Amino acid sequence: MRTAPPRPVPDETVRLPVEDLLALAGRVFLRLGLSPAHAEAMARTVVAGQRDACPSHGVYRILSCAHTLGCARVDPRAEPVLAAASGAVVRVDARYGFSPLAFERGLPALVASTREHGVGALVLQHCFHFSALWPEVEAITAQGLAALALTPSHAWVAPAGGHAPVFGTNPIAFGWPRPGPHPFVFDFATSAIARGDLELHRRHGTPLPPGCGVDSDGQPSTDPLAVAQGAMLAFGGHKGSALSAMVELMAGALIGDWISLESRAFDAGAGAIPCHGELVLAFDPARLSGGDATAQQQRAEQLFQAITRQGARLPSQRRFEARARSLAQGVSVPRALYEEILALAD
């Protein structure tokens, strides 16, 4: 289960309008040497996380991007290359740049391919990937399509029954389009805690929840530094471990890119953002429903109502509520983090 570190108390935060935080993040990324197109795509991604109260994938990620630029083989000005269409498959070579721009460049072709074939696959290769997957699946559901996204990372997670890292945190995200402002979306790591949350626990000096990882001797630990030097654990034991293996195969071997072991080897101890591929699948309800998409949407809404009328939450509901607050009141950023980001902008 994903557990976030303690939130800063109000007097330790600043609030900025979304537009102001976007401008600041974009300015920092330009200062770090990214091309304007990359800087804008990266700013949109990290601000979306902060806006939706997902600090592990928010503007904190600016710091890890800065570290990566200083020590890794990322190309801050790489122009993603969209390959010629091959049936339902759209392929984008990020050319060792950051992933958000590569996704944005491939999205229109993915949508067109999915409308033509009923299903579509976007293969992103050779990208430094740091972001949550829900912004990507939301971009697809906004087109009236369902979506599934998978990606490996660095080998940080031990398989069930083991103690040495093999898997990445290997997130899975799914989106289903709905009437109204928000889709049905879930996005979670197959590890017991997201890597970004582990890093935030380390920064805050707070212990991890039990069951998140083991130290270098294979002993259970709640010390984030000890777990970082040992191994994280999959959620749900053998079930999460099997899902994590599926992600390695589908978003690594299947698409001709690295598995998490190879990504970590490529990093060579630099502690940079993982470099690997991503697989995004899209589905057109108008085609797959046999021409009865309206009735099938009503069936889906019946499912959602059966969940919510007994008081249960739909995934991402709290995130959407946080989005509404941020748009109305400004985006909350821990003051210490805000000052670190400001320093990078100078």
End-to-end CA separation in angstroms for the chain: 39
Residues belonging to the chain:
346
Distance CA 99, CA 78 (A): 10
**Other CB atoms closer than 10 Å to residue 299's CB: what's the count?**
11
Q: Is 131 in the active site?
A: no
Of the residues 52, 75, 187, 197, only one is catalytic, namely 197
- Cα separation, 119 vs 114, whole angstroms: 5
CB under 8 Å to 1, separation ≥6 — which residues? Answer: 192, 209, 235
DSSP 210: T
C-alpha span between 150 and 143 (Å, rounded): 19
Q: Which of 38, 56, 191, 260 is catalytic?
A: 56
Torsions phi, psi of 159, nearest 5? -70, 160
Whose CA is closest to 13, among 339, 327, 332? 332
**Quick one: how far is CA 84 from the chain centroid?**
27
Query: In 3D, which of 8, 61, 3 has the Cα closest to residue 204?
Result: 8
Collect all residues with Cβ–Cβ distance below 8 Å to 107 and sequence separation of at least 6. 122, 139, 140
Answer yes or no: 56 catalytic.
yes
Q: Is 57 a catalytic residue?
A: yes
Catalytic residue among 57, 126, 182, 276: 57
DSSP line for 116-131: HHSEEEEEEEEEE--S
Q: Which residues are catalytic?
A: 56-57, 197
